[in-house]
Amino acid sequence: MAADRLRFGFIALADAAPLIVAVARGFFDAEGLQVELVREVSWATVRDKLGVGALDGAHMLAPMALATTASGEVSPLVAPLALNLNGPAVTLSSRLARSVGAGPGAEGLARLLARRRQEGSSPITLAVVHPYSTHNYLLRDWLARAGIDPDADVRLTVVAPSRMTELLTEGVVEGVCVTEPWGAAAVAAGAGVTAVRASQLWPRTPDKVFAVQAARAEADPARLQAVLRALLRAAAWAEAAENAGDLAVLLADPAYVGASGEVIQASLTDLVFHRDGANAPQPAHAEWLLRQMARWGHLSPAADIPTLARRVYRPDLHAKAAAALGLPPAEPLAHFGED
Protein backbone atom coordinates (compact mmCIF):
# COMPACT_ATOMS: atom_id res chain seq x y z
CA MET A 1 0.00 0.00 0.00
CA ALA A 2 2.75 2.37 -0.95
CA ALA A 3 1.10 4.28 -3.80
CA ASP A 4 0.61 8.04 -3.40
CA ARG A 5 -3.00 7.59 -4.43
CA LEU A 6 -4.78 4.46 -3.30
CA ARG A 7 -7.30 2.73 -5.57
CA PHE A 8 -9.98 0.66 -3.85
CA GLY A 9 -12.44 -1.46 -5.81
CA PHE A 10 -16.09 -2.00 -4.94
CA ILE A 11 -19.29 -3.50 -6.29
CA ALA A 12 -22.59 -1.58 -6.36
CA LEU A 13 -24.02 -2.89 -3.08
CA ALA A 14 -25.19 -1.29 0.14
CA ASP A 15 -22.44 -3.01 2.12
CA ALA A 16 -19.81 -1.00 0.25
CA ALA A 17 -21.04 1.87 2.44
CA PRO A 18 -17.94 2.13 4.69
CA LEU A 19 -15.70 2.71 1.65
CA ILE A 20 -18.14 5.11 0.01
CA VAL A 21 -18.76 7.06 3.22
CA ALA A 22 -15.05 7.26 3.98
CA VAL A 23 -14.51 9.05 0.66
CA ALA A 24 -17.65 11.18 0.58
CA ARG A 25 -17.55 12.30 4.24
CA GLY A 26 -13.81 12.97 4.31
CA PHE A 27 -12.69 10.21 6.68
CA PHE A 28 -9.86 9.19 4.34
CA ASP A 29 -8.87 12.84 3.91
CA ALA A 30 -8.69 13.25 7.68
CA GLU A 31 -6.08 10.48 7.76
CA GLY A 32 -4.02 12.15 5.04
CA LEU A 33 -5.04 9.55 2.44
CA GLN A 34 -5.85 10.14 -1.21
CA VAL A 35 -8.30 7.43 -2.22
CA GLU A 36 -9.99 6.74 -5.53
CA LEU A 37 -12.94 4.36 -5.54
CA VAL A 38 -13.25 2.18 -8.63
CA ARG A 39 -16.66 0.65 -9.31
CA GLU A 40 -16.22 -2.80 -10.82
CA VAL A 41 -18.77 -4.90 -12.69
CA SER A 42 -18.02 -8.34 -11.28
CA TRP A 43 -16.45 -10.01 -8.28
CA ALA A 44 -14.04 -11.87 -10.54
CA THR A 45 -12.73 -8.53 -11.80
CA VAL A 46 -12.25 -7.29 -8.24
CA ARG A 47 -10.31 -10.45 -7.36
CA ASP A 48 -8.13 -10.32 -10.47
CA LYS A 49 -7.29 -6.63 -10.17
CA LEU A 50 -6.45 -6.97 -6.50
CA GLY A 51 -4.31 -10.01 -7.23
CA VAL A 52 -2.14 -8.24 -9.81
CA GLY A 53 -1.89 -5.01 -7.85
CA ALA A 54 -4.15 -2.87 -10.05
CA LEU A 55 -6.17 -2.23 -6.88
CA ASP A 56 -4.65 -1.44 -3.48
CA GLY A 57 -7.62 -2.84 -1.58
CA ALA A 58 -11.16 -3.93 -2.19
CA HIS A 59 -14.68 -4.57 -0.96
CA MET A 60 -14.65 -8.37 -1.28
CA LEU A 61 -16.71 -11.47 -0.69
CA ALA A 62 -15.30 -13.10 2.43
CA PRO A 63 -15.19 -16.63 0.93
CA MET A 64 -13.44 -15.21 -2.14
CA ALA A 65 -10.62 -13.79 0.00
CA LEU A 66 -10.26 -17.21 1.64
CA ALA A 67 -10.41 -19.15 -1.63
CA THR A 68 -7.94 -16.83 -3.36
CA THR A 69 -5.37 -17.37 -0.63
CA ALA A 70 -6.06 -21.12 -0.40
CA SER A 71 -5.46 -21.55 -4.13
CA GLY A 72 -1.83 -20.43 -3.90
CA GLU A 73 -2.10 -19.25 -7.51
CA VAL A 74 -1.95 -15.51 -6.83
CA SER A 75 -0.74 -13.18 -4.09
CA PRO A 76 -2.26 -14.16 -0.73
CA LEU A 77 -4.76 -11.76 0.78
CA VAL A 78 -5.51 -10.58 4.27
CA ALA A 79 -8.81 -9.28 5.63
CA PRO A 80 -8.06 -6.76 8.39
CA LEU A 81 -11.66 -5.52 8.58
CA ALA A 82 -15.19 -6.88 8.17
CA LEU A 83 -17.36 -4.37 6.30
CA ASN A 84 -20.73 -5.73 7.41
CA LEU A 85 -22.78 -8.51 8.90
CA ASN A 86 -26.08 -9.73 7.40
CA GLY A 87 -27.30 -8.29 4.09
CA PRO A 88 -27.91 -11.28 1.78
CA ALA A 89 -31.40 -12.63 1.20
CA VAL A 90 -33.03 -15.29 -0.95
CA THR A 91 -35.59 -13.67 -3.23
CA LEU A 92 -37.92 -15.78 -5.36
CA SER A 93 -39.63 -14.51 -8.47
CA SER A 94 -43.20 -13.44 -7.83
CA ARG A 95 -44.32 -16.21 -10.20
CA LEU A 96 -42.48 -18.90 -8.25
CA ALA A 97 -43.49 -17.51 -4.86
CA ARG A 98 -47.16 -17.76 -5.82
CA SER A 99 -46.62 -21.44 -6.65
CA VAL A 100 -44.63 -22.48 -3.58
CA GLY A 101 -45.74 -20.03 -0.91
CA ALA A 102 -43.62 -17.58 1.05
CA GLY A 103 -40.54 -18.79 3.04
CA PRO A 104 -38.68 -18.99 5.29
CA GLY A 105 -38.40 -22.71 4.54
CA ALA A 106 -37.94 -24.23 1.08
CA GLU A 107 -40.37 -27.13 1.60
CA GLY A 108 -42.89 -25.70 -0.87
CA LEU A 109 -40.13 -25.39 -3.44
CA ALA A 110 -39.08 -28.99 -2.75
CA ARG A 111 -42.61 -30.22 -3.52
CA LEU A 112 -42.71 -28.20 -6.74
CA LEU A 113 -39.35 -29.55 -7.85
CA ALA A 114 -40.48 -33.13 -7.13
CA ARG A 115 -43.54 -32.61 -9.36
CA ARG A 116 -41.40 -31.11 -12.10
CA ARG A 117 -39.04 -34.10 -12.01
CA GLN A 118 -42.00 -36.49 -12.32
CA GLU A 119 -43.26 -34.49 -15.31
CA GLY A 120 -39.80 -34.49 -16.92
CA SER A 121 -39.52 -30.69 -16.77
CA SER A 122 -36.15 -28.97 -16.81
CA PRO A 123 -34.70 -27.67 -13.50
CA ILE A 124 -35.44 -24.10 -12.49
CA THR A 125 -32.55 -21.62 -12.52
CA LEU A 126 -31.42 -19.77 -9.39
CA ALA A 127 -28.71 -17.12 -9.35
CA VAL A 128 -25.88 -16.28 -6.96
CA VAL A 129 -23.23 -13.58 -7.21
CA HIS A 130 -20.17 -15.88 -7.31
CA PRO A 131 -19.37 -19.52 -6.49
CA TYR A 132 -17.13 -18.35 -3.62
CA SER A 133 -19.72 -16.25 -1.84
CA THR A 134 -21.76 -16.32 1.34
CA HIS A 135 -24.74 -16.11 -1.02
CA ASN A 136 -23.93 -19.39 -2.71
CA TYR A 137 -23.48 -21.20 0.60
CA LEU A 138 -26.58 -19.59 2.12
CA LEU A 139 -28.74 -20.61 -0.84
CA ARG A 140 -27.29 -24.13 -0.84
CA ASP A 141 -27.92 -24.53 2.89
CA TRP A 142 -31.49 -23.22 2.59
CA LEU A 143 -32.22 -25.69 -0.21
CA ALA A 144 -30.52 -28.61 1.54
CA ARG A 145 -32.55 -28.08 4.72
CA ALA A 146 -35.64 -28.93 2.65
CA GLY A 147 -34.02 -31.98 1.03
CA ILE A 148 -33.18 -30.23 -2.24
CA ASP A 149 -29.81 -31.12 -3.81
CA PRO A 150 -28.45 -27.80 -5.13
CA ASP A 151 -26.14 -29.60 -7.57
CA ALA A 152 -28.82 -31.88 -9.05
CA ASP A 153 -32.33 -30.53 -8.42
CA VAL A 154 -31.83 -26.92 -9.57
CA ARG A 155 -29.53 -25.08 -11.92
CA LEU A 156 -27.27 -22.51 -10.25
CA THR A 157 -25.83 -19.66 -12.28
CA VAL A 158 -23.70 -16.58 -11.54
CA VAL A 159 -25.14 -13.11 -12.16
CA ALA A 160 -23.82 -9.64 -11.34
CA PRO A 161 -25.75 -8.24 -8.33
CA SER A 162 -27.15 -5.22 -10.15
CA ARG A 163 -28.70 -7.45 -12.87
CA MET A 164 -30.72 -9.63 -10.50
CA THR A 165 -33.95 -7.60 -10.66
CA GLU A 166 -33.83 -7.44 -14.44
CA LEU A 167 -33.38 -11.21 -14.82
CA LEU A 168 -36.14 -11.98 -12.31
CA THR A 169 -38.49 -9.66 -14.21
CA GLU A 170 -37.63 -11.25 -17.55
CA GLY A 171 -38.02 -14.79 -16.23
CA VAL A 172 -34.42 -15.73 -17.00
CA VAL A 173 -33.99 -16.84 -13.37
CA GLU A 174 -36.62 -17.84 -10.82
CA GLY A 175 -34.76 -16.90 -7.68
CA VAL A 176 -31.64 -15.09 -6.51
CA CYS A 177 -29.46 -14.74 -3.46
CA VAL A 178 -27.94 -11.29 -3.35
CA THR A 179 -26.98 -8.59 -0.87
CA GLU A 180 -29.14 -5.50 -0.59
CA PRO A 181 -30.38 -3.32 -2.12
CA TRP A 182 -30.99 -5.61 -5.07
CA GLY A 183 -33.39 -7.99 -3.31
CA ALA A 184 -35.39 -5.01 -2.07
CA ALA A 185 -35.30 -3.52 -5.58
CA ALA A 186 -36.83 -6.72 -6.98
CA VAL A 187 -39.58 -6.63 -4.35
CA ALA A 188 -40.27 -2.93 -5.01
CA ALA A 189 -40.53 -3.64 -8.74
CA GLY A 190 -43.05 -6.43 -8.13
CA ALA A 191 -40.60 -8.96 -9.58
CA GLY A 192 -39.74 -10.81 -6.40
CA VAL A 193 -40.70 -11.90 -2.89
CA THR A 194 -38.20 -12.24 -0.05
CA ALA A 195 -38.19 -15.89 1.07
CA VAL A 196 -35.56 -15.78 3.80
CA ARG A 197 -32.83 -13.45 5.01
CA ALA A 198 -29.36 -14.61 5.96
CA SER A 199 -29.92 -13.27 9.46
CA GLN A 200 -32.81 -15.72 9.90
CA LEU A 201 -30.65 -18.75 9.11
CA TRP A 202 -27.25 -17.57 10.30
CA PRO A 203 -27.61 -14.64 12.76
CA ARG A 204 -24.89 -12.02 12.25
CA THR A 205 -23.90 -13.57 8.94
CA PRO A 206 -20.36 -12.80 7.74
CA ASP A 207 -20.49 -11.35 4.23
CA LYS A 208 -18.00 -8.76 2.93
CA VAL A 209 -14.50 -7.84 4.07
CA PHE A 210 -11.97 -5.21 3.17
CA ALA A 211 -9.13 -7.17 1.56
CA VAL A 212 -5.55 -6.25 0.66
CA GLN A 213 -2.54 -8.17 -0.56
CA ALA A 214 -0.66 -9.61 2.41
CA ALA A 215 2.64 -8.32 1.02
CA ARG A 216 1.34 -4.77 0.74
CA ALA A 217 -0.08 -4.88 4.25
CA GLU A 218 3.32 -5.91 5.57
CA ALA A 219 5.21 -3.37 3.47
CA ASP A 220 3.30 -0.30 4.71
CA PRO A 221 1.59 -1.09 8.04
CA ALA A 222 1.24 2.58 9.02
CA ARG A 223 -0.77 3.40 5.91
CA LEU A 224 -2.93 0.32 6.37
CA GLN A 225 -3.71 1.44 9.92
CA ALA A 226 -4.73 4.86 8.61
CA VAL A 227 -7.07 3.17 6.10
CA LEU A 228 -8.60 1.03 8.83
CA ARG A 229 -9.15 3.99 11.14
CA ALA A 230 -10.95 5.85 8.35
CA LEU A 231 -13.11 2.82 7.56
CA LEU A 232 -14.01 2.31 11.21
CA ARG A 233 -15.13 5.92 11.48
CA ALA A 234 -17.12 5.55 8.27
CA ALA A 235 -18.76 2.32 9.44
CA ALA A 236 -19.82 4.01 12.67
CA TRP A 237 -21.31 6.90 10.69
CA ALA A 238 -23.17 4.48 8.39
CA GLU A 239 -24.53 2.60 11.40
CA ALA A 240 -25.99 5.67 13.12
CA ALA A 241 -29.77 5.76 12.74
CA GLU A 242 -29.79 9.53 12.33
CA ASN A 243 -27.66 9.19 9.20
CA ALA A 244 -29.87 6.63 7.42
CA GLY A 245 -31.52 9.16 5.12
CA ASP A 246 -28.23 10.80 4.14
CA LEU A 247 -26.64 7.39 3.64
CA ALA A 248 -29.44 6.31 1.31
CA VAL A 249 -29.06 9.47 -0.76
CA LEU A 250 -25.30 8.97 -0.96
CA LEU A 251 -25.55 5.31 -2.02
CA ALA A 252 -28.25 6.16 -4.58
CA ASP A 253 -25.69 8.19 -6.55
CA PRO A 254 -25.21 6.42 -9.93
CA ALA A 255 -21.47 6.49 -9.33
CA TYR A 256 -21.94 4.25 -6.30
CA VAL A 257 -24.95 1.89 -6.03
CA GLY A 258 -27.49 3.58 -8.25
CA ALA A 259 -30.76 2.16 -6.90
CA SER A 260 -33.42 4.59 -5.71
CA GLY A 261 -32.90 6.24 -2.35
CA GLU A 262 -36.22 4.89 -1.10
CA VAL A 263 -35.30 1.30 -1.98
CA ILE A 264 -31.86 1.67 -0.44
CA GLN A 265 -33.18 3.13 2.80
CA ALA A 266 -35.72 0.31 3.10
CA SER A 267 -32.96 -2.23 2.50
CA LEU A 268 -30.65 -1.00 5.27
CA THR A 269 -32.63 -2.32 8.24
CA ASP A 270 -30.99 -5.76 8.34
CA LEU A 271 -27.41 -4.64 7.67
CA VAL A 272 -24.95 -4.24 10.53
CA PHE A 273 -22.05 -1.94 9.68
CA HIS A 274 -20.39 -1.33 13.05
CA ARG A 275 -22.23 -2.10 16.27
CA ASP A 276 -21.23 -4.81 18.71
CA GLY A 277 -17.80 -5.31 17.19
CA ALA A 278 -19.11 -6.07 13.70
CA ASN A 279 -15.93 -4.82 12.02
CA ALA A 280 -13.65 -7.33 13.73
CA PRO A 281 -12.65 -10.07 11.27
CA GLN A 282 -13.50 -13.11 13.37
CA PRO A 283 -11.48 -16.27 12.62
CA ALA A 284 -14.52 -18.27 13.77
CA HIS A 285 -16.45 -16.75 10.85
CA ALA A 286 -13.64 -17.67 8.46
CA GLU A 287 -13.48 -21.23 9.79
CA TRP A 288 -17.21 -21.64 9.37
CA LEU A 289 -17.11 -20.30 5.80
CA LEU A 290 -14.24 -22.67 5.02
CA ARG A 291 -16.28 -25.58 6.39
CA GLN A 292 -19.12 -24.57 4.07
CA MET A 293 -16.66 -24.51 1.17
CA ALA A 294 -15.46 -28.00 2.09
CA ARG A 295 -19.06 -29.20 2.49
CA TRP A 296 -19.79 -28.37 -1.14
CA GLY A 297 -16.49 -29.56 -2.61
CA HIS A 298 -14.96 -26.09 -3.02
CA LEU A 299 -12.03 -26.74 -0.67
CA SER A 300 -9.68 -29.67 -0.36
CA PRO A 301 -10.55 -32.01 2.52
CA ALA A 302 -6.85 -31.84 3.45
CA ALA A 303 -6.94 -28.07 4.00
CA ASP A 304 -5.83 -26.85 7.43
CA ILE A 305 -8.92 -24.78 8.14
CA PRO A 306 -7.84 -23.10 11.42
CA THR A 307 -4.46 -22.09 9.96
CA LEU A 308 -5.95 -20.76 6.73
CA ALA A 309 -8.63 -18.83 8.64
CA ARG A 310 -6.02 -17.07 10.77
CA ARG A 311 -3.75 -16.43 7.82
CA VAL A 312 -6.46 -14.41 6.06
CA TYR A 313 -8.58 -13.00 8.89
CA ARG A 314 -6.43 -10.61 10.92
CA PRO A 315 -8.24 -9.38 14.05
CA ASP A 316 -4.91 -8.07 15.38
CA LEU A 317 -4.80 -5.43 12.64
CA HIS A 318 -8.39 -4.39 13.33
CA ALA A 319 -7.74 -4.29 17.09
CA LYS A 320 -4.81 -1.90 16.69
CA ALA A 321 -6.87 0.55 14.64
CA ALA A 322 -9.85 0.27 17.00
CA ALA A 323 -7.66 0.93 20.03
CA ALA A 324 -6.23 4.05 18.37
CA LEU A 325 -9.79 5.37 18.10
CA GLY A 326 -10.62 4.47 21.69
CA LEU A 327 -13.10 1.77 20.64
CA PRO A 328 -13.66 -1.15 23.01
CA PRO A 329 -12.00 -4.43 22.00
CA ALA A 330 -14.24 -6.81 20.07
CA GLU A 331 -15.18 -9.98 21.90
CA PRO A 332 -13.63 -12.90 20.00
CA LEU A 333 -16.05 -15.57 18.82
CA ALA A 334 -15.19 -19.05 20.00
CA HIS A 335 -17.64 -20.64 17.56
CA PHE A 336 -20.06 -19.68 14.78
CA GLY A 337 -22.85 -21.58 13.06
CA GLU A 338 -23.96 -25.18 13.27
CA ASP A 339 -21.51 -28.06 13.17
C-alpha span between 165 and 185 (Å, rounded): 7
CB contact at 8 A, 235 and 274 = yes
Distance CA 177, CA 162 (A): 12
Q: What is the CA radius of gyration of the chain?
A: 19
Closest CA to 174 of 90, 92, 89: 92
Instruction: Give the Cα separation of 321 and 243 in Å (integer).
Output: 23
Boundaries of every domain in the chain: 5-86+205-324, 88-201
Residues 6 or more apart whose CB falls under 8 angstroms from that of 141 comprise: 201, 202, 292
> Is the bond preceding 203 in cis, omega lying within 30 degrees of 0?
no
CATH of domain 5-86+205-324: 3.40.190.10
DSSP string for residues in 151-172: TTTSEEEE--GGGHHHHHHHTS
Domain 5-86+205-324 shares a fold with domain 88-201: yes
State residue 101's pLDDT score. Answer: 83
Residue 1 confidence (pLDDT): 54
What digits encode the pLDDT tens for the residues 238-280? 999 999 999 999 999 999 999 999 999 999 999 999 999 999 9
Q: What is the pLDDT of residue 306?
A: 97
Tell me the per-residue pLDDT of 47-98, one tens digit each, with 9 for 90 and over: 999 999 999 999 999 999 999 999 987 789 999 999 999 999 999 999 999 9
For helices 305-312 and 283-295, give the axis angle rounded to 10 degrees.
Answer: 130
CB 50 within 8 A of CB 234: no
Q: What is the pLDDT of residue 334?
A: 83
Other C-beta atoms lying within 10 Å of the C-beta of residue 149: 11
Adjacency order of strands within the sheet including 57-61 = 34-39, 5-10, 57-61, 208-213, 77-82
Q: Which residue type sits at 166? A: E
Please tell me the predicted confidence (pLDDT) of residue 230: 98
pLDDT at 72: 82
Q: Are 42 and 161 in contact (CB under 8 A)?
A: no
CB contact at 8 A, 78 and 214: yes
Low-confidence stretches of the chain (pLDDT < 50) are: none
**Max CA pair span of the chain:** 64
Where does 88-201 sit in CATH, by number? 3.40.190.10
pTM: 0.96
Per-residue pLDDT at 73? 76
pLDDT given at position 92: 97
User: Which of 210, 220, 183, 229 lies closest to 91, judged by CA?
Assistant: 183
Of the candidates 18, 20, 7, the residue with the CA atom closest to the CA atom of residue 55: 7
